[in-house]
């Protein structure tokens, strides 16, 4: 990727909501094949993480990951360490939305959920990790792999309260190409963007492909995927996706800016100038993106149109040449 041009990247601010009562379900669900590792003192983090990693197909004992996640001075594990350890072991952690609907959706899809609970009070917390493996509507209970109990049954209201005191934090782990049942397009983009550079590039590529298969016309996901392909050197893939974004949202300034950068890299100066001029024409004068777009326009104006041949990208994945510059 050329240095000097302003390439805009994705920024996402997402919020969550918390429900204190689970929705009703007419049928019970329990994942009986999820393994169980009895927790030793202060080792609920390694035990819970080993549980979900093993369920995803890995062969890992809590002792194998204790040094990765356990902090002796704190007598526990931080959430960020559990997430990072899941990535290091070849899995993608997805933080579910903070409500029991998302949790139950994952259970019904056959995926256990690692959760953080506060077993005491908000001002004097007692943190505890567990893995939710079931919900029994007839008994009004959640079923957890927790502590030294393989089937700890907790009343739904009590579970929801303890979970909410820990900001309803929880995640599932995914193998390559998998999507969470409860995922939103925004949540999936957030997950992949946060994991780029920390997981294998092919894993990330498969994640974007899976996301686009579910949400083929979501501009946010298309833009994020285009940036990923651009950063990976796949200009054909990036071009196709930027074009798709602009078909859906012609006034998308960041997509048009990045497309202009791609065109400049190919020596297509006239086309790059047209794209960035259009982006700026559609942009309000006080828009915070304007300085970055003006940097791109200045570079396009300074480029010598005759210094390089406008090169088409390589054929796309379907084997057909992209009509890139028309």
Which tens digits make up the pLDDT trace of 184-213? 999 999 999 999 888 999 999 999 999 999
> Whose structure tokens read 């003192």?
41
Q: How confident is the model at residue 16 (pLDDT cuts 50, 70, 90)?
A: very low
pLDDT at 15 over 50: no
User: What's the sign of the alpha-carbon dihedral 245, 250, 252, 255?
Assistant: positive
DSSP H or E run through 281: helix 269-281
Strands (E), 96-255: 113-118, 127-136, 141-146, 149-155, 170-174
pLDDT tens, position by position, 58-73: 999 998 988 788 777 6
Mean pLDDT score, 137-162: 95
pLDDT score for 42: 72
Q: What is d(CA 140, CA 158) in angstroms, rounded to the nearest whole number?
A: 10
How would CATH label the architecture of 20-216?
Alpha-Beta Complex (3.90)
What pLDDT is recorded for position 75? 74
Domain 235-326: give its CATH architecture: Alpha Horseshoe (1.25)
Q: Higher confidence at residue 59 or residue 323?
A: 59
- pLDDT score, position 92: 96
Instruction: pLDDT band for 117, please (50, 70, 90 cuts).
Output: very high
Which pLDDT score is estimated for 5?
60
pLDDT at position 229 over 80: yes
Say which DSSP state 5 is in: S
pTM for the whole structure = 0.84
CA atoms within 13 A on the CB side of 130: 27
- How confident is the prediction for the chain on average, in pLDDT? 87
Instruction: Please report the pLDDT score of residue 41 as a whole number.
Output: 74
In eight-state DSSP terms, residue 199 is B
Count of CB atoms within 10 A of residue 14's CB?
11
- The domain spans of the chain are 20-216, 235-326
Question: How much is the CA Rg of the chain, to the nearest whole Å?
Answer: 24
Residue 180 Cα distances to 14, 172, 235, 238, angstroms: 18, 8, 29, 25
Per-residue pLDDT, 220: 97
> What pLDDT sits at residue 73?
67
Is residue 19 scored above 70 in pLDDT? no
Residue 62 near residue 48 (C-beta atoms within 8 A) = no
CB 6 within 8 A of CB 257: yes
Q: What is the pLDDT of residue 318?
A: 40
Higher-confidence residue: 1 or 179?
A: 179
Label residue 313 by pLDDT band (50, 70, 90): low
Q: Answer with the residue of higher pLDDT: 229 or 326.
A: 229
> How large a percentage of the chain has pLDDT more than 70?
86
The residue with greater pLDDT, 157 or 309, is 157
Q: What is the mean pLDDT of residues 288-293?
A: 95
Do the domains at 20-216 and 235-326 have one common CATH topology?
Answer: no
Cα(92)–Cα(86) distance, rounded to whole angstroms?
7
Residue 282 pLDDT grade (very low, low, confident, very high; cuts 50, 70, 90): confident
Of residues 24 and 323, the one with the higher pLDDT is 24
310: confidence class by pLDDT, cuts 50, 70, 90: confident
Whether 18 contacts 299, CB under 8 Å: no
Please give the angle made by the CA atoms of 279, 280 and 282, to the nearest 5 degrees.
70
Share of the chain above pLDDT 90, in %: 73
**pLDDT-based confidence at residue 100 (cuts at 50, 70, 90):** very high
The phi-psi region of residue 133 (left if phi > 0; otherwise alpha if psi is between -120 and 50; otherwise beta) is alpha
């Amino acid at each position: 990727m050329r240095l000097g041009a302003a390439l805009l990247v994705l920024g996402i601010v997402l919020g969550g909501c918390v429900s204190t009562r689970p929705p009703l379900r007419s049928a019970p669900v329990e994942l009986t094949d999820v393994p169980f590792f009895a927790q030793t003192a202060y080792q609920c983090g390694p035990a819970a993480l080993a549980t979900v990693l093993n369920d995803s197909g890995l062969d890992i004992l809590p002792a194998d990951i204790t040094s990765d996640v356990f902090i002796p001075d704190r007598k526990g594990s931080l959430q960020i360490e559990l997430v990072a350890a899941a990535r290091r072991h070849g899995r993608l952690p997805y933080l579910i939305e903070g409500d029991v609907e998302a949790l139950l959706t994952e259970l019904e899809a056959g995926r256990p959920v690692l959760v953080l609970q506060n077993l005491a009070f908000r001002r004097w917390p007692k943190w505890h990790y567990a893995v939710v493996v079931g919900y029994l509507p007839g008994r009004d209970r959640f079923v957890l792999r927790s502590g030294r109990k393989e089937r700890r049954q907790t009343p739904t209201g009590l579970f929801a309260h303890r979970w909410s005191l820990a900001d309803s934090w929880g995640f599932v782990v995914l193998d390559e190409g998998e999507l969470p049942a409860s995922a939103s397009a925004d949540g999936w983009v957030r997950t992949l963007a946060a994991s780029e550079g920390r997981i294998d590039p092919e894993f990330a590529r498969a994640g974007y492909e899976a996301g686009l298969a579910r949400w083929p016309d979501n501009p946010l996901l298309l833009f994020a995927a285009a940036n990923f392909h651009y950063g990976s050197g796949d200009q054909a893939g990036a071009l196709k996706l930027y074009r798709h974004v602009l078909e859906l949202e012609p006034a998308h300034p960041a997509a048009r800016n990045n497309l202009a950068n791609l065109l400049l890299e190919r020596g297509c100066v006239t086309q790059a100038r047209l794209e960035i001029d259009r982006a700026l024409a559609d942009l309000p004068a006080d828009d915070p993106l304007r300085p970055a777009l003006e940097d791109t326009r200045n570079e396009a104006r300074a480029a010598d149109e005759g210094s390089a041949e406008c090169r088409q990208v390589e054929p796309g994945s379907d084997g057909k040449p992209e009509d890139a510059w028309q």
